[in-house]
Amino acid sequence: MEYSNSSNTEQPQTCLEITMEVHRVVPPPHKSTIHKLKTTLKETFFPDDPLRQFKGQPTGKKWILAAQYIFPILQWGPHYSLGLFKSDIVAGLTIASLAIPQGISYAKLANLPPIVGLSCLFHTGLDSSFVPPLVYAVLGSSRDLAVGPVSIASLILGSMLRQEVSPVSDPVLFLQLAFTTTFFAGLFQASLGFLRLGFIIDFLSKATLIGFMAGAAIIVSLQQLKSLLGITHFTTKMGLVPVLSSVFHNTEEWSWQTILMGFCFLVFLLVARHVSMKRPKLFWVSAGAPLVSVILSTLLVFAFKAQHHGISIIGKLQEGLNPPSWNMLQFRGSHLGLSIKTGLVTGIISLTEGIAVGRTFAALKNYKVDGNKEMMAIGLMNMVGSSTSCYITTGAFSRSAVNHNAGAKSAVSNIVMSITVMVTLLFLMPLFQYTPNVVLGAIIVSAVVGLIDIPAACQIWKIDKFDFIVMLCAFFGVIFISVQDGLAMAVGMSIFKILLQITRPKTVMLGNIPGTDIFRDLHHYKESMKIPGFLILSIEAPINFANSTYLNERILRWIEEYEAEDHKKQSSLQFVVLVMSAVSAIDTSGVSIFKELKKTVEKKGAELVLVNPLGEVMEKLQKSDEAGDFMRPDCLFLTVGEAVATLTATIKSQVSNHVV
């Protein structure tokens, strides 16, 4: 790239000619290898420094703080009051009205019995109850997170398991694999939190998640065409093409009664959602709309015997609480790999969603959510849930938003919700026998439509075009290939972007802003001017084995371009100044390029100068410079201004002595 600009080559005025105090570059204080390793591990795995609260505390207080850190309920529990409980009762009953129809709908989306979806909201074992809500209430740090099944995880679990096992021909095995998948998802989630590896989920960038969620929302909605149109023979594939092909090849199965009912209730649900979005105080409108839809549609079907006129219904449901399911977990056999793979994918997606939702509402209420504790809480919740007839659960945005707007003060609202669902399971399940499937489909569509975030996509286009491409990869990958492959493509593109930034770091040529000792990018600040005889380059990335060769070649090209330009002006290159303020780290490959550069620069009759090398970088350069060639005090400066002023004065002094 040619950086010739005649206006940038004039001599800058007076500022650099003024005598400037030069500050000596001092080496960093010595640190042992053990100390460096300890610091690195601490910043990698404990960036939040969870042990700082124990400093200076007596032994008894430390034990109390440790118990509160592991079990957050011990921190807020002693201060819990009747007033807070009243708010949590209202919130719990409100989210239960939303969670009951969603639980049934999402279970069908995962190809599981509807009662399993409700079991994710309430669980019972031989001697335990309220298991997942209680686990989260004890271990979770979010006050607003409403746990339960979610649409995306339900879709992924159902679609991945269905690739090898049919939920129709072998429902028992399918259910066993669903519970086993939930166990491995929870194990993976809890392990990430326990091992402090939560940064792994950061590879799911915002662009990836926006594209993935939008694509998954469309796939989920397309799957509901089976219920919304009344189609009996529907494809088991998830892609856009096979779904639309199945829809239009079975037009003779379309039921006008089903279409009419589905359209009416879908419009009702979308209008209710729109009202609550425009007026948050009317949150109860969208929260109660799904339950109202279920009740009204059930009454209509029962009154008019609509099941005999083309409208399919759920059918008879099992009454009572589900038995423990630990005996259904499959840790051997040919499908173990499928369970682990599905658990890994669903675990990452549900964990990302749960933590993102928790942090969103924590920011609104000005409290902190511990990501690693959330991972352990959600993971243990799923591990225990897999033994109590539950498939994968996490914090859902729609339920959490209702929970927040309803005035929830703590995780007790989840327990209130689970008690409400328990009553439903024990006494009200027969009432859902006549609930039409078309309404469940409408509930799912109205829930997932909010996952399509067009304003966020437009914002990504404005800010970063490459991120927009990543988002499109996730979106089209999910729609045209598969959910898991679309996610993998987007993550791969994101990693490629990171590798590109690492292997091709940015270097810019700096010039002086007249009247100051400030140096900035010549292309960015048009008023900045080159200093004759100086090639000033800023390296804006760590230097390592992945980019050292590129940097060496790029700097040599800068030198060649400078020489070619200045050859026409009868001036020569005297100093190559490398600004290293942004070079936070360097390895042995990076150190070697400085030795090679120094030799190359000296052959051209110039000198290599380093500006502001940071602690670790300077330490490694000093250790490698046994002969003291390029770490001499006269080649090290704190600022570019000091370097240019000092070296310019030195040249003038040498010229004066030569003349004398």
Over residues 147-199, the pLDDT tens digits come to: 888 888 888 898 889 888 888 888 889 999 999 999 999 999 999 988 888 77
Q: Which of 497, 520, 536 is the last residue of a domain?
A: 497
Residues 559 and 553: their CA atoms lie apart, in Å, by 10
pLDDT of 17 over the 80 cut: no
Same domain for 310 and 442: yes
For the segment 455-483, the average pLDDT, to the nearest whole number, is 90
Domain boundary (445, 471, 497) is at: 497
Whether residue 238 is found in the same domain as residue 309: yes
Query: Are 492 and 522 within one domain?
Result: no
CA distance 457 to 226: 29
Q: Which residue has the higher pLDDT, 181 or 253?
A: 181
437 inside domain: yes
> Residue 50 pLDDT > 50, yes or no?
yes
Assign 212 a pLDDT band (cuts: 50, 70, 90).
confident
Average pLDDT over residues 466-492: 87
CA quadruple 102, 105, 111, 112: dihedral sign: positive
Q: Give me the mean pLDDT over the 315-341 stretch.
A: 82
> Averaged over 63-74, what is the pLDDT?
84
Q: For position 138, what pLDDT does the model report?
A: 83
Query: What is the domain-level CATH number for residue 575?
Result: 3.30.750.24
In the numeric block, which tokens belong to residue 527? 């008023």
Distance of alpha carbon 647 from alpha carbon 219, whole angstroms:
65
Name the pTM for this structure: 0.77
The two three-digit tokens of residue 171, written as one number:
């429902």
Q: Are residues 449 and 380 in the same domain?
A: yes
For residues 541 and 578, give the distance between their C-alpha atoms in angstroms, rounded to a whole number. 12
**317-349 burial by CB neighbour count: b if 16+ within 10 A, else e?**
beeebbebbeebbbeeeebeebbbebbbbbbbb
Burial of 14 (0-12, 13-18, 19+ CB in 10 A): exposed
Model confidence band, residue 69 (pLDDT cutoffs 50, 70, 90): confident
Q: Classify strands 575-579 and 534-539 as parallel, antiparallel or unpaired.
A: parallel
Interval 546-571 mean pLDDT: 83
Task: Tell me the C-alpha distance between 144 and 414, whole Å.
Answer: 9
- The DSSP-derived string for 379-430 is HHHHHHHHTTT----EE-HHHHHHHHHTT--STHHHHHHHHHHHHIIIIIGG
Helix (H) or strand (E) holding 128: none
Any idea what DSSP says for residue 12?
Answer: P
Q: Which of 469, 497, 525 is the last residue of a domain?
A: 497
| Average of per-residue pLDDT values in the chain | 83
Residues 418 and 385 in one domain: yes
Residue 196 lies in a domain: yes
Q: What is the rounded distance in angstroms from the CA atom of residue 587 to the CA atom of residue 624?
A: 11
Q: Please choose, from the candidates 181, 436, 409, 401, the residue with its C-alpha nearest in 3D space to the C-alpha of residue 294.
A: 436
Does a structural domain hold residue 64? no
Q: Which of 19-28, 122-131, 393-402, 608-617 has the lowest mean pLDDT?
A: 122-131
- The pLDDT value recorded for residue 271 is 93
Q: How many CB atoms lie within 10 A of CB 127?
A: 6
Rounded to an integer, the average pLDDT of 267-282 is: 88
Does position 2 have pLDDT exceeding 50, yes or no? no
For the chain, report the end-to-end CA distance as a whole number of angstroms. 43
CA distance 619 to 495: 30
Whether 131 and 160 share a structural domain: yes
Q: Which residue has the tokens 């009759």?
A: 605
Is residue 559 predicted with pLDDT exceeding 70?
A: yes
Same structural domain for residues 161 and 223?
yes
Query: Do residue 299 and residue 401 come from a single domain?
Result: yes
Residue 266's identity, in one-letter code, is L
Q: pLDDT above 70 covers what percent of the chain?
A: 90
Q: How far apart are CA 227 and CA 117, in angstroms?
A: 18
The size of the chain, in residues, is: 660
In a domain, 309, yes or no: yes
* Count of the separate structural domains present in the chain: 2
Has residue 509 got a pLDDT over 80? yes
Nearest Cα residue to 105 out of 471, 421, 437: 437
pLDDT at 276: 86
- 107-116, 348-357, 371-380, range with the lowest pLDDT: 107-116
Most confident range (mean pLDDT) of 79-88, 383-392, 461-470 is 461-470
Residue type for position 326: W
| The two structure tokens encoding residue 520 | 């900035």
Mean pLDDT value of segment 408-424: 84
What is the predicted pLDDT for the residue at 9? Answer: 43
Close Cβ partners of 379 (under 8 Å, ≥ 6 residues apart): 185, 186, 187, 188, 189, 190, 191, 192, 193, 347, 351
Asked whether residue 45 is assigned to any structural domain, the reply reads: no
- Label residue 235 by pLDDT band (50, 70, 90): confident
- What is the pLDDT, as a whole number, of residue 127? 28
| Strand, helix or coil for residue 475 | helix
3-state secondary structure at position 509? strand
**The pLDDT value given to residue 128:** 29
Asked whether residue 151 falls in the same domain as residue 177, the answer is: yes
Q: Three-class SS of residue 520? A: strand
pLDDT of residue 4: 39
Within a domain: 517: yes
Does residue 76 lie in a domain region?
no
Q: Which of 114-118, 177-181, 601-605, 613-617 has the lowest mean pLDDT?
A: 114-118
Mean pLDDT of 461-489: 88
Highest average pLDDT, of 240-244, 338-342, 594-598, comes from 338-342
Do 277 and 396 fall within a single domain? yes
Domain that holds residue 642: 505-658
Which of these, 76, 109, 369, lies nearest to 221 by C-alpha position?
109
The answer to whether residue 231 scores a pLDDT higher than 90 is no
In a domain, 224, yes or no: yes
Same domain (yes/no): 491, 509: no
The pair of structure tokens assigned to 457 is 């996509």
Average pLDDT, integer, range 41-65: 79
CA 488 to chain centre: 14
Are 510 and 493 contained in the same domain?
no
Of the candidate ranges 124-133, 300-309, 509-518, the one whose mean pLDDT is the lowest: 124-133
Closest CA to 472 of 455, 451, 493: 493
Q: Give me the pLDDT at residue 131, please.
A: 63
Q: Which two tokens stand for residue 372?
A: 């690693």
SS3 label, residue 146: coil
Residue 14 pLDDT class (50, 70, 90 cuts) = very low
Q: Where are the beta strands (DSSP E) in 458-522?
A: 507-512, 519-521
What integer pLDDT is reported at residue 13 of this predicted model?
44
Residues 6+ apart with CB under 8 A from 314: 104, 114, 432, 433, 434, 435, 436, 437, 440
